[in-house]
């Protein structure tokens, strides 16, 4: 089950662990659209407990989880306030507008992943028939495009309080919520407490093969369950997937600090090389962002191709820019080999 290459392109590449595969083979299953899959029910209950919410909904992807959340909070013609670098805005194929008729209002993301409170305040519409009504605020933690930056409990509280003051619920795209919790030394529930709904991915650093969970109040999840069905996300004997999700939540969520330490070590090794420049502050969590210095006569794609030939896969996120993500299958040896491979190419 070992991976062929050192694959640092993303934490989505994580394969299920042998323990997960065994649990999947033995999972007790039922028809989850009838609510009869005990393993899915157990996963949804555990996810709710871990995020401090009343209920959970197992969904096929983070994209669907966020879409269901927005469609549950908003109707057609309503407006959701999102960061201009938010995953929901940039990388979810415009689903909230294509499928929900929800208008997005973009507020600039600060380099630390936050939205300035004054920008949020200014983006909330007054009651004017010319304008789409503001109906939702979406936050993201950790923030993918902002280098895996972590939003603090205090910031989340302040942003949610502002939204709530204006009658807007808050959805948290917590695809990597457990990375944020590990980085801050708080619980996922602490980070999710101020918000009304939260999605997190089982399939990234937590290593499950498929799935995310959307959590919120019992009433919210009841409505969300109908929308999941509308979108074709009602799955039948999904306990085979949820079985891996249970291990992801119970065990893998506890070891993410290791990935963050390895990201630190990787950054330390790369920082010593002359041909690359690391982003200030990187890594916040499990992502290292770096660029080629001006004197390097190659582009990132060429460097990535040479690294690939040596068995190291890195993410190319710009003409001269890389993203390297640590995860369960990246051990100390892989970190060492990656630094060595960069060094061989760039000195």
Ligand X SMILES: *Cc1c(COP(=O)(O)O)cnc(C)c1O
Beta carbon nearer to ligand X, 87 or 262: 87
Q: Between residues 149 and 303, which has the closer beta carbon with respect to ligand X? A: 149
Judged by CB under 6 A, the residue of 70, 201, 252, 314 near ligand X is: 201
DSSP strand pairing (197-201 vs 170-173)? parallel
Contacts of 263 (CB under 8 A, 6+ apart): 283, 285, 286, 287, 288, 324, 325, 326
E-strand spans in 70-169?
79-83, 103-107, 134-140
Closest separation in Å from C-beta 199 to ligand X: 7
Q: Say whether residue 144 binds ligand X (CB under 6 A).
A: yes
Q: How many residues bind ligand X, per CB under 6 A?
A: 11
Query: In whole angstroms, how close is the CB of 174 to ligand X at the nearest point?
Result: 8
CB atoms within 10 A of CB 18: 9
DSSP run (H or E) holding 98: helix 95-98
Asked if residue 212 binds ligand X (CB under 6 A), the reply is yes
Give, in order, the Cα–Cα distances in Å from 223 to each of 4, 78, 162, 220, 294: 43, 17, 25, 5, 53
Distances (CA, A) of 70 to 67, 126, 150: 5, 21, 22
Site string for ligand X, 43-82 (x = CB under 6 A): ------------------xxx--x----------------
| 87 binds ligand X per the rule CB under 6 A | yes
Do the Cβ atoms of 323 and 13 come closer than 8 Å? no
**Residue 105 binding ligand X, by CB under 6 A:** no
Contact call for residue 173 and ligand X (CB under 6 A): yes
Contacts of ligand X in 112-141 (CB under 6 A): 140
| Residue with Cβ nearer ligand X (175 or 249) | 175
Tell me, residue by residue from 264 to 303, as one string, x for binding to ligand X by CB under 6 A and - for no binding. ----------------------------------------
Cα(43)–Cα(245) distance, rounded to whole angstroms? 7
Q: Choose between 102 and 303: whose C-beta lies nearer to ligand X.
A: 102
Q: How far is the CB of 173 from ligand X (least distance, A)?
A: 5
Sign of CA dihedral 325, 329, 333, 334: negative
Euclidean distance between CA atoms 275 and 293, whole angstroms: 5
Any idea how long the chain is?
347
Write down the least CB distance from residue 167 to ligand X, Å.
25
Q: Which residues bind ligand X (CB under 6 A)?
A: 61-63, 66, 87, 140, 144, 173, 175, 201, 212
């Amino acid at each position: 089950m070992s991976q062929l290459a050192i694959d640092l392109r993303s934490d989505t590449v994580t394969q299920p662990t042998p323990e997960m595969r065994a649990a999947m083979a033995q999972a007790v299953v039922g028809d989850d659209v009838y609510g009869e899959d005990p393993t899915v029910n157990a996963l949804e209950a555990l996810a709710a407990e871990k995020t401090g919410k009343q209920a959970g909904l197992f969904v096929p992807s983070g994209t669907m989880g966020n879409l269901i959340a927005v469609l549950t909070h908003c109707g057609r013609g309503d407006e959701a306030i999102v960061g201009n670098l938010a995953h929901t805005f940039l990388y979810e194929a415009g689903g909230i507008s294509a499928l929900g008729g929800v208008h997005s209002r973009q507020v600039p993301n600060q380099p630390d992943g936050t939205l300035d409170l004054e920008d949020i305040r200014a983006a909330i519409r007054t009651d004017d028939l010319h304008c789409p009504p503001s109906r939702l605020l979406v936050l993201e933690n950790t923030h993918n495009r902002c280098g895996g930056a972590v939003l603090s409990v205090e910031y989340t509280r302040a942003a949610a309080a502002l939204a709530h003051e204006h009658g807007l619920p808050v959805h948290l795209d917590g695809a990597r919520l457990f990375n944020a919790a590990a980085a801050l030394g708080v619980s996922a529930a602490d980070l999710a407490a101020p918000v009304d709904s939260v999605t997190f991915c089982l399939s990234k650093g937590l290593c499950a093969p498929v799935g995310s969970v959307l959590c919120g109040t019992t009433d919210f999840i009841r409505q969300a369950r109908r929308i999941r069905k509308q979108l074709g996300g009602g799955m039948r004997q999904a306990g085979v997937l949820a079985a891996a999700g249970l291990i992801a939540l119970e065990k893998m969520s506890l070891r993410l600090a290791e990935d963050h330490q390895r990201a630190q070590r990787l950054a330390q090794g790369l920082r010593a090389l002359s041909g690359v420049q690391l982003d200030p502050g990187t890594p916040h969590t499990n992502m290292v962002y770096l660029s080629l210095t001006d004197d390097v006569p190659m582009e990132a794609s060429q460097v990535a191709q040479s690294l690939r030939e040596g068995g190291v896969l890195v993410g190319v996120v710009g003409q001269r820019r890389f993203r390297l993500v640590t995860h369960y299958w990246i051990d100390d040896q892989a970190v060492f080999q990656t630094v060595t491979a960069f060094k061989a190419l760039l000195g």
